[in-house]
Structures are given as structure tokens and as C-alpha cells.
Amino acid sequence: MQDVERELPGLIRELLQAPAHRQRQLIERHYTPDCRLTHALVISENREEIVRIFQAWRFCIRRLDVDVNEIVLSSGGRRAYCSLVQRVQPRWWPKSWQWEMLVVLDLAPGLAGSTSTHLIAAEQDFISFASLLSPLPLVGWAYSSLLRRAAGLSISAAVQLSGTAYRWTLAVLDHRGNKVWVEIVQHVTGFNHYLAPPLFGFSLSMSVLMYLRDGPGGTKLIGKQVDYHSFESVLYTTPLLGALLQHGLRRAVSAYLIGGAHLAAQAWPPVEAWLRRALPQGNSKVDGLKRWLGQAWWRQAPPVSWRAVPAPHDPRL
């Protein structure tokens, strides 16, 4: 990429929607060989594993739409924050699903002689917990109408009964000066009192996007604030539970996706060679089969007429 803010939305859409061979081309062009991907469910150590994960995910999706809402690029151009919404229709599931994501990209200089001046050196994906629960029947209503409202009404009492400390780890000001992205670690201890030790405690990573506007005397005022909580950070840092999720869930799912895509890539060439030899006019028939599969399987399925596409999740609600 040369112009990150202009090219990144198109790259994200094409990377998630493209067929398998095009995904490989995009990742090999825009990712470094030792790029690392971290997600709530998967983790990868290099670029080849990232290719397998994206291919396995695209294989399971009939239709995928992406709305890139915000991109904040640090003044030095070494980190990009992307707020987006994914709307997917799984291949073997009758209903569509959507969630909001925060994607953090660490950028590295491009190789000498390359057309790309910025390469992706690391990617971290964070999924909004609220956007996952909101579409669920009853659960979404209970979360939005009961839990969030009750938490809002009792927040003042909770502050008095608990101890909360904030430690910011990184603040990124947009190069235009109208947005700032702050990474915060929130340390919470429940029911903290000077006569008794706290009953529980945890640390919660979160990111805060602040929209700035001009104030009096050349100052900047916060016009709007959107918080992104990383709830998986609580789970993965919990003793015993974190190790169980890391090795029993995240690494197991990663091994399944990467291994399945690798096995399919290794198994198809011998089958293709055998079909070319065994079938009459095998070359033309296999080429036609590959073209048909490419059009039928990897194409974006049209929207289902009787099912309305859900609106993008609004974090302000």
C-alpha cells in the first residue's frame, strides 16, 4: 500500500470476499513473511498460516459484506486502527449474522524495489461483545434493555463500592488532528473497602476512539467517544481458564483451520492429475470443472429476498 487510508478499505473488502487464489495473492503482496495474526478464536505465526485461515473462513461463507466505518492512522504511519462491521451468511446456516470489529494493524516499510511502501507486520482482531449478543432472540433484548440499562443506572454506586484504575498504554492522534485513539488497561477490584480486601479483581483491555472538535483558545474538545472493550482479554488472562481457552480453543481451532486448508491444498493436485489422465478429454473437462466450481462456490451469493440485511451495529445505542 502507498496511501493507507485510501487503499485499506478496499483491501479489507477484497481480502474477505475474494476467492482462495486471489486471497493468497493479496496476502503475499501486502503482508510480511513473519506477520502474526491474533484473534479471539485463532492465532497464527506466519504469513502462510494467515493464508490458510482466510481461505478456510471464506470457504464457509456464502456471502460477506464489510462496512469500514473509521480508519485512524498514526502520525508516524506505523499503526492503523480500523473499525468495521462484518455481515455474513454462512454456507450451511439459514440466517445471516453480523458483528462489529476493531482491527489493529502494525505497518512496516515495504521492500526495496516494491510498489508497496507499507506492509502489514502484525494484525490484531477484536470483536465487539455487544454486537454479538444484540441480534440473539431474548438474549439480545435482555442485554440491551436490562443489563446495559441497569449497569448505567447503578454505575455511580458501583464506582463507590469498587476501585478502578486506568492506565493508558498508547495514544494515537490522527494525522489530521480530528480523532485520537487511546489504548487503556482498566484494573478493576470489586467491593473495595479499607477494612476488607477486595472480593474480586480483573484487568480489562479497551480502546477509546474520541472525535475532537475545535474549542476556545485553540483547544480541542471531545465531541463524541466510542469505547471498544476486549472481553476476551479477561478470559485469556484468568488463571486456569485462560490456559484452557488458549490451548483447548484458540490453538485447537487454529490447527483445525490451518490443517484442513493445508490438507485440501495437498490432496487436490494428485486428484486433478488423475482426473486429467482417466477421463476422456480430461484436460478440457477438468479445466471446465475448475471454472464452474470457481463461479459456483467462490462467488458472492445474492442477498436473500425474504431476509432483510441487518443494519450495521451502532455502538452509541
Where exactly are the structural domains of the chain? 4-137, 154-237
Phi, psi of 164, deg, nearest 5: -130, 130
pLDDT (tens digit per residue) in 105-146: 999 887 766 667 889 999 988 877 667 766 666 766 676 666
**Within 10 Å of residue 242's Cβ, how many Cβ atoms?**
15
pLDDT (tens digit per residue) in 240-282: 777 787 778 888 888 888 888 888 888 888 988 998 888 888 8
- In eight-state DSSP terms, residue 122 is E
4-137: CATH topology is Nuclear Transport Factor 2; Chain: A, (3.10.450)
pLDDT category of residue 213 using cuts at 50, 70 and 90: confident
Question: What amino acid occupies position 68?
Answer: V
pLDDT (tens digit per residue) in 283-313: 888 888 888 776 666 666 666 554 454 455 4
Alpha helices in the chain (DSSP H): 4-17, 20-30, 47-59, 129-133, 139-141, 148-153, 155-161, 232-237, 241-245, 251-278, 282-297
All residues at 6 or more sequence positions from 51 whose CB lies less than 8 Å from its CB, including other chains: 23, 24, 27, 28, 261
pTM over 0.75: no
